[in-house]
Amino acid sequence: MDVINITEKMLMNGLEDGEYYQDGQIITNNYDAKSMCLVRTTDVFPSDGCIRSMANSNTLLKTSSMLLGEALNNTDLKDKCQIMYYGYRSTVHFSMNGLVSNHAYGNFSNRNFIIIEPFFHHIQDDIISLRVEDTYFKDFVSLSDEACVILSKDKLEEIKNKADYQDFLFSHKLFVYDFKEEEKKKLFSNNSLELENYNSFFEQRLVNCVLENLGYPHFNIGSNGYVDNNKSVDYMNNFVEKFRKKMKIGNERHFNSELHMSDSKQNSLNLKTSDINYYRYIVINSGINNEQLLSYIKYFEYNGNYDSFKYSNLLFDEDGNIIMKEEILEKIKEFINKIGIQKLLYLTEEYNNLYMMQEQKIKR
């Protein structure tokens, strides 16, 4: 197993952002396709050397039930009553030569693995958009033999003897760190703002440290691209833009793309279907005969009522009649009080187990 341990000295010392070595010399402006490197944080280890989109990997997600959650005032209870649903996204996302800091539209900290992959191997792949803060591919990305993984010592100990991980672990370079939370705070918390985001700063520096070790230039990245204002950033931005145009690759923001809207629509449909089925399952298996609660299902299924239940006080049936959201909420609250919290939690866990079993059948 090819393991490089990341020390505090490696983490805190080194080249300035944008600099890298070429033939033993520090270079700041001679960028080419082999200078570009893909970076991705994830909780899914690429055990077979392939990173798949959610749409290509039957990914199960959990979220609070919107239908029952509206009736639960206790936030902790809402979290305990989370339901499974089949997440949908048909794209795989990376940043370029650095890790994006957390921002209003994304949190990239506290993932189990950070994957580093030379971009050069993928210039002929199905790249939908090339942006330094968000380069994304359709469906999947097959990693090269030069791919590396950054992970904690504890996580490596957890997975190193598992059969599914063996091939990748013993054929790729691993960068391993062992910093406790207090050490991270000490190193990356210089003021109150940074104290809240020390993990993001820590992981950005981890990536920069590894890129430097591998001979790649590294940059700090925000939601709109590289955040530093210097000549190295200008050189890299200019090269990426020229390369993108030469290869005729798009640069549309994912959030604004038709692909994102289509994926989001499918993801929302999957969530809606699971939530309504969960509601139905809870009512039917509660031991309480409640035809009125079951009759509401047709309202949830009709047209845009499911979304309206979250954002509006009014629902409409197929004849145009108005149903007040508060009336339904009161009935759901009465129902939850009758069956009790423990019964609700039990049925929630039972539903999720059945949902997972069903998904496993689909995968086979």
Cα gap 163→51, rounded to integer Å: 18
Residue 85 forms beta bridges with which residues? 61
pLDDT digits (tens, 9 = 90+) for 176-212: 999 888 888 777 766 444 555 677 788 889 999 999 9
Please indicate, yes or no, whether residues 166 and 296 belong to a single structural domain of this protein. Answer: no
The answer to whether residues 113 and 159 belong to one domain is yes
pLDDT at 189: 65
Q: Is residue 76 part of a domain?
A: no
The reported pLDDT for the residue numbered 361 is: 46
**115 close to 40: Cβ distance less than 8 angstroms:** yes
Q: Per-residue DSSP letters for 118-146?
A: EGGGGTTS-EEE--SS-EEEESEEE--TT
84 found inside a domain = no
Q: What is the bridge-based pairing of β-strands 127-129 and 113-118?
A: unpaired
Residue 202 lies in a domain: yes
| Whole-number pLDDT of residue 219 | 92
109 lies in the same domain as 175: yes
- Using the 3D structure, point to which of 228, 251, 274 is the last residue of a domain: 251
- Say whether both 220 and 156 belong to one domain: yes
User: How far is Cα 210 from Cα 276, in angstroms, rounded to an integer?
Assistant: 46
Q: Are residues 208 and 323 in the same domain?
A: no
Does the residue 362 lie in any domain?
Answer: no
Among 251, 280, 296, the domain boundary falls at 251
Number of domains in the chain: 2
pLDDT of amino acid 256? 86
Nearest to residue 283, comparing CAs of 355, 344, 234, 219? 344
Q: For residue 167, what are the CA distances in angstroms to 1, 45, 46, 153, 173?
A: 10, 12, 10, 19, 12
CA distances from residue 305 to 254, 284, 334, 335 in whole angstroms, order as listed:
28, 22, 22, 21
Quick one: pLDDT at residue 75? 66
Give the range of the structural domain holding residue 215, as residue numbers without chain letter: 3-53+89-251
Residue 279 sits in the same domain as residue 168: no
Domain boundary among 219, 251, 283: 251
Ranges under pLDDT 70 in the chain: 74-75, 103-108, 189-197, 303, 315, 317-318, 320, 359-364
